[in-house]
Structure 1
Amino acid sequence: MEKVLFAEEQRFNQWWIKFIAMASLLAVLIPFFQGIYSEVSEGKLIGNGPKSLEDLAVSGIVSVVIIVFVFIVIFASRLKTKITAEALFVIYSPFKRKWQRITPEEIEKYEIRIYRAKREYGGHGIKTRRRYGTAYTISGNVGMQLYLKNGKKLLIGTQKKQAFEYAMRKLMEGEE
């Protein structure tokens, strides 16, 4: 078993994301149930013809399924980072299914830095911008910036900047 110098797992857990999820579901469900109530109890037809209740049900169900799917994907998202004596590994599931392995030989330099997710990358997530490179972020504004020897840049968001920096130093110096 290989010794892990650093490990971190991040996920979306901001209150406003949960609020948006609930508000979106309510925005679809309230008109859906109002429409069904109007058609069934009051006899008011919403659409054209006898299939309007079925159309309403199908569109409501499809809308709910899409919203639930999007939020399941958001809540299932995980940014995992680990550093061993041999390499740095990063994975952003469910979007990236394989660990990305970065060895010390591939890294020209590194630094912990403050970044502006919206301005530099267009928000959190897996983002690539020509000027700034690729970023794997979930939340916050602190990350490990890697400058690779092939000219590419990679930013990995972190909530544990001191531990990340310490483990990177150990990796780059070849210590355990």
Structure 2
Amino acid sequence: MICFKEEQALGTVKLWIIMMTVSFVSVMGIVYALYMQLHLKQPLENKLSDTLLVILGVITLLVIAAINWLVLSGRLQTELRGHHIRYRFPPFIWRWKTIKLEDIQQFEISEFKQKRHGYHRSGQRRALSVAGNMALHLTFSSGKKLLLGTQKPKELKKVIEQLMKKETDHG
């Protein structure tokens, strides 16, 4: 049974605007170079062959599309179920990662100071966030730490406190 579920999209309006603007300018540059060389027969300074220019144009468009897909399709998904927490961050972490409540030594919902969002690793610490500045901070018996960003800090805190209480009552 799912007690808590949250899905946060990485693609904020600001990020979409930046990505689409950069993509549009890049595509227009490719279209301009192709038009000048193939239609008007006036190659740009680099004087690439028509075939090479088309190949480079297609590769550039594919790279732009792949970067846009990677960045704008990112989603942090978090679930609290009976005796565990699950999370994933597609397209970077496809498979669900499962944390048993019994492996959690300490938890806290609080602000975090990190300015960058995304997936970060540093030694024994991992951080996954997509927006805002609130997170679930977990410390494990092994000494490892995990930060999961949340836009629902009060709801998450209430649910995890209830689950941890049940775990200690039954453990």
Question: TM-score, with normalisation over the residues of structure 1?
Answer: 0.86
5+ residue gaps, structure 2, are none
Aligned AA (2:86): F
Equivalent residues in 2 for 1:101-116, closer than 5 Å = 101-116=98-113
Q: Does residue 34 of structure 1 match 2:27? A: no
Q: 2:5 is aligned with what amino acid? A: A
1:82, 1:88 within 8 Å by CA — same for their partners in 2? yes
Q: What SS does the aligned partner of 2:37 have?
A: helix
Residue 12 (structure 2) aligns with:
14
Residue correspondence of structure 1 range 71-150 to structure 2 within 5 A: 71-118=68-115, 123-130=116-123, 133-150=125-142
User: What RMSD in Å do the two structures reach over aligned CA positions?
Assistant: 1.8
> Hey, what's the Cα distance between the residues in 2 that align with 1:59 and 1:109?
52
Shift of 1:79: 1.0
Whether contact under 8 Å (2:11, 2:74) holds in the other structure is no
CA distance in 2, matches of 1:40, 1:89: 53
Q: Which moved more, 1:107-116 or 1:68-77?
A: 68-77
Structure 2 residue matching 1:117: 3-state secondary structure:
coil
Structure 1 residue 43 corresponds to structure 2 residue 36: no
Amino acid at match of 1:174: K
Aligned sequence identity (%)? 25
- Relative to the length of structure 2, the TM-score reads 0.88
Q: What whole-Å deviation, never above 9, does each CA across 1:59-118 have from its counterpart, x for those lacking one?
A: 121111101111112222221111122111111122222221112211111111111223
- Residue in 2 aligned with 1:66? 63
